[in-house]
Every structure is written in structure tokens, then in C-alpha cells.
């Protein structure tokens, strides 16, 4: 038995662990970069607004932290307009570097300095946390064995208890978000000019679940969270605590953010089907992908947390 954070960390990142052995998220769950090119298009729009606000620096970064298979990095590189691409440095940060076009840099750790846009797309939810539970009025650490059987551990104390009181006071069971807060604050601090964006499933104080959200994913199915390395383990992110740890930031929904960046799921004009059926087909498919990205009950309900002092 060990505490959930240690078990979760080992299950994902120790040798032979789920991500450490090179499992690609695309084999197990669908994320927005896998839907199609539209998320990359929206991020390029954000990047070009930042570029304008920054006065067109000689080198403009796009840093994709927790890049998984690198689909988002590759799409941003491929779809960048030529004038921007000449100055664009795309970096995929991933423990297990994916194979990507040579123009995309791949590294296992975050760069020291970013001028442009740093994105953590479904990164924070993959950072392991301690799990705690209230028993007879006392909040206790939850321990777990390799089969997922849990036991009550010692009382929660110190910074973990402070975090719980500040961010999740009504919890019967909760994931302690401190490691995510720290990781996000560190990532944001590396952006010297531009913006940092976290996109994830999450919650904020007013809508915090009472019993946490720790779960597993395997081959497209949601499965029990067994920390044996066989599956992804994840829990929703306390977006407001990450925002505060990094000094503020704006939280909105993916649906609202994509609309603000110009994506629309409106169907093409019906007359187009008769005059240009291939274009009508392509535009209908695109509208369907945007509808998936903006569905409030699905990806559209994801949170966007944006930090930046030089936003247009």
C-alpha cells in the first residue's frame, strides 16, 4: 500500500508505466487535436494575434507541453501561413518523444524561455495527485495497492490540508491539486512574452464534485483506476487553483474560446450542394468537427485557462 500520488506516478511514469512505455493517447482516448485541424487553426489565430501584439519577434515559439503523439505540434507547424512559419519555432515537450517532422523540436523538459504561446493540452490532468477522503469527520490520506484496493491512511496535514480548505472545502473525497498548481506556475513563469494556455477537463469552486473524479482510460473505454500500469489514470483539474498559483488568468469554456477565435459550426449554405458538391461535403464535415469541439456536453465544456500580459 502507498498513497495515491506515489501509486499514480509509478503507474504512468516509472519504467514500464503507461506513458513511460510510449502508449499514445490516441490509442486510448479522443482529444481535441485528434478531431481534426480546427483546434490548431484556432491556436494559430491566437498565435498571430500575439505575434502582432509582440511586434513580430524574429522567433515566435509554440510550445506544446505534454504533447503525447505530437498531433497538435505537427498541425500547428503544417498549417502556419508561410510568412509566420519562417519565424515559428514549434517545440513538443514529451517524456517519450514522438516521431515528428524534423522542423518540430522535441524535448523531454520545458524550455527555460518562451516568447509566443505555451500550451498544455490535457497535460495537467495527467499530473498525479494525492487522494484524500473524509472519515468520521477527519480528512485522511487514501492508500491503494497495485490492484486498486484502497485503505485509509494517516490524517491529512500541512500544505495538502491548507489546499483542501482553500479550494475544496465541501469535499467528501478529493484529489489534492498542489502538484498541478506547481507545474502550471512553473510553466507560466517560463513565458517571457506572450501567453500560456491550459486546456483541460476541470472544475471550479462553484461546481466542484463532492467525491473527486479519479478514473482510468484504456482502449477508448472508461475503466476503474487501478494503478498497475495497464491504463491511463486521470482526474479533472481544479482550474481556479492552477490559475491562482500562476498569478491570475482568465478561465472560459472551449466553446466560447473557439467562437472568439473565429470557428463556427454553422452548416454551409444549402445551395452549395447543387453548385459545388465537393466543397459542400468538405464544409459539412468541417462544421461537424467544429460542432464536436464546441459541444457543451463534451469537448466544448473543457476549460481554457489563459495567462498573458501582452494579449491583444
Binding site for ligand SAM (CB under 6 A): 19, 25, 31, 33, 66-68, 93-95, 121-123, 126
Residue with Cβ nearer ligand SAM (80 or 92): 92
Q: How far is the CB of 19 from ligand SAM (least distance, A)?
A: 4
Q: How far is the CB of 238 from ligand SAM (least distance, A)?
A: 17
Classify burial at 147, counting beta carbons within 10 Å of its beta carbon; exposed 0-12, middle 13-18, buried 19 or more: exposed
Q: How far is the CB of 199 from ligand SAM (least distance, A)?
A: 8
Q: How far is the CB of 190 from ligand SAM (least distance, A)?
A: 12
Interhelix angle 38-53/277-294, nearest 10 degrees:
80
Q: How far is the CB of 297 from ligand SAM (least distance, A)?
A: 19
Beta partners for residue 199, in sequence order:
121, 304
Classify burial at 62, counting beta carbons within 10 Å of its beta carbon; exposed 0-12, middle 13-18, buried 19 or more: buried
In whole angstroms, what is the distance from residue 123 CA to residue 112 CA? 18
Residue with Cβ nearer ligand SAM (171 or 255): 255
Amino acid at each position: 500500500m502507498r498513497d495515491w500520488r506515489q501509486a499514480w506516478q509509478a503507474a504512468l511514469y516509472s519504467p514500464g508505466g503507461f506513458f513511460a512505455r510510449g502508449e499514445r493517447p490516441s490509442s486510448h482516448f479522443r482529444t481535441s487535436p485528434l478531431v481534426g485541424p480546427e483546434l490548431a487553426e484556432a491556436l494559430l489565430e491566437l498565435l498571430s494575434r500575439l505575434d502582432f501584439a509582440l511586434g513580430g519577434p524574429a522567433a515566435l515559439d509554440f510550445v506544446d507541453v505534454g504533447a503525447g503523439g505530437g498531433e497538435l505540434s505537427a498541425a500547428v507547424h503544417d498549417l502556419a501561413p508561410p510568412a509566420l512559419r519562417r519565424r515559428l519555432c514549434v517545440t513538443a515537450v514529451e517524456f517519450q518523444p514522438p516521431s515528428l517532422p524534423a522542423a518540430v523540436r522535441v524535448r523531454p523538459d520545458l524550455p527555460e524561455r518562451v516568447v509566443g504561446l505555451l500550451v498544455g493540452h490535457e497535460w495537467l490532468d495527467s499530473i498525479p495527485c494525492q487522494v484524500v477522503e473524509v472519515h468520521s469527520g477527519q480528512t485522511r490520506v487514501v492508500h491503494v495497492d497495485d490492484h486498486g484496493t484502497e485503505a485509509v491512511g494517516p490524517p491529512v496535514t500541512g500544505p495538502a490540508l491548507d489546499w483542501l480548505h482553500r479550494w475544496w472545502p465541501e469535499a467528501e473525497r478529493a484529489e489534492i491539486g498542489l502538484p498541478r498548481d506547481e507545474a502550471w506556475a512553473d510553466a507560466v513563469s517560463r513565458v517571457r512574452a506572450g501567453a500560456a494556455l491550459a486546456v483541460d477537463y476541470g472544475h471550479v469552486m462553484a461546481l466542484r464534485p463532492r467525491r473527486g473524479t479519479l478514473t482510468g482510460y484504456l482502449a477508448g473505454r472508461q475503466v476503474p483506476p487501478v494503478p498497475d500500469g495497464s491504463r491511463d489514470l486521470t482526474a479533472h483539474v481544479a482550474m481556479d487553483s492552477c490559475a491562482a498559483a500562476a498569478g491570475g488568468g482568465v478561465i472560459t469554456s472551449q466553446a466560447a474560446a473557439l467562437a472568439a477565435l473565429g470557428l463556427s459550426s454553422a452548416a454551409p449554405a444549402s445551395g452549395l450542394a447543387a453548385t459545388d458538391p465537393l466543397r459542400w461535403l468538405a464544409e459539412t464535415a468541417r462544421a461537424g468537427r467544429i460542432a464536436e469541439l464546441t459541444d457543451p456536453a463534451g469537448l466544448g465544456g473543457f476549460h481554457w485557462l489563459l495567462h498573458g500580459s501582452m494579449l491583444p
